[in-house]
Amino acid sequence: MKYVKVCPRQELDFLFEARNSEKCVDNFRRLSPRIADCIYTPKIYWDLSTSKVLSMEFMDAAEITDLDAIRRSGIQPKDVSKLVNQAFAEMIFKHGFVHCDPHAANMMIRPLPSSSRWNVFRRKRPQLILLDHGLYKELDFATRTNYAALWKALVFADVNAIKEYSIKLGAGEDLYVLFAAVLTMRPWNRVIDPSVDHLVLKGNDNDRSEIQMYASQYFSQISELLRRLPRVILLMLKTNDCLRAVTHALLQGPSIDTFLITGRVSSEVVAETKRMLQSGSFLSGLSSYLDQMLLEARLLSMRIALCFLQIRKALSG
């Protein structure tokens, strides 16, 4: 109840929203400079804004699920999907300051202003415009790094690590399997399947029926899990659902890139945390280097396996 009381009050304070907007962009500049130019929030007119009136720059851009408008602007929906998932992976795992309401109405897309020309493939780089900054949540260091370690474990089907970090995040030894299933929307046998597309939701009738069946079968356990989990993790579940819906709308189907991006960013955070906690010795530096090489090899092998999988499906179709 305390959270329910605080959040609406903050969301109705437009100066609070304005500060969140500027902090979000500043985090990308400081912590994610590689994609900082691709993230934009409307300029705030502070001299015309109060806690009850927010004056912002008007944005002339496409709604994020308007595929025709996106293509007309020279942008490919696949590139938009990758940018959205990259941006939120950076927010969740690196920044620890997360826009928790990323539904389609709160995101727009336009060509990156600095790349107004067509490239050789007649594609322009997208710029993601984030709107409605009233609902943010901060993840403390332990929650952020444990959540990153859990998602790394989920992407790479590491059973022991899934259990360890699910317990650390509050699921308990009896419900960690259910927590993994709720996070990924996949049954446990798929969560621990080593195949490259083990977490991909196809979005067909079979997937929907399976999810509905498990939700009905484990309703009481799911209720207990939601009671145990910290509020911030509940908001991450909401955020995941919004992003999943936007990705599906953009691609008109499932995407493995979402999990490759999540695997990379979460693994980078796990490696960085390990470096911070170890001494700056030669052996720790070597260990860090080997971890990075292993990560690159695993991601490459996943991409190669994915290519073969797509070729096989195309030939069989």
| Catalytic residue list | 101
Of the candidates 130, 138, 139, 162, which has an alpha carbon nearest to the alpha carbon of residue 149? 162
Residue 66: other Cβ atoms inside 10 A: 17
Enumerate residues 6+ apart whose C-beta is below 8 A from 16: 10, 51, 134
The three-point CA angle 191-193-198 to 5° equals 70
d(CA 270, CA 125): 29
Distance separating alpha carbons of residues 252 and 245, to the nearest angstrom: 10
E strands within 245-293?
Answer: none
Q: How far apart are CA 55 and CA 116, in angstroms?
A: 28
Residues with Cβ < 8 Å from 107, sequence gap 6 or more? Answer: 63, 64, 84, 128, 129, 130, 131, 246
Alpha-carbon torsion (201, 108, 67, 310), positive or negative? negative
In the chain, beta strands by DSSP E: 39-40, 62-63, 97-99, 107-111, 126-130, 136-138
Looking at residue 117, its amino acid is R
Whether residue 17 contacts residue 133, with contact meaning beta carbons closer than 8 Å, is answered with yes
Task: Provide CB contacts within 8 A for 312, sequence distance 6+.
Answer: none
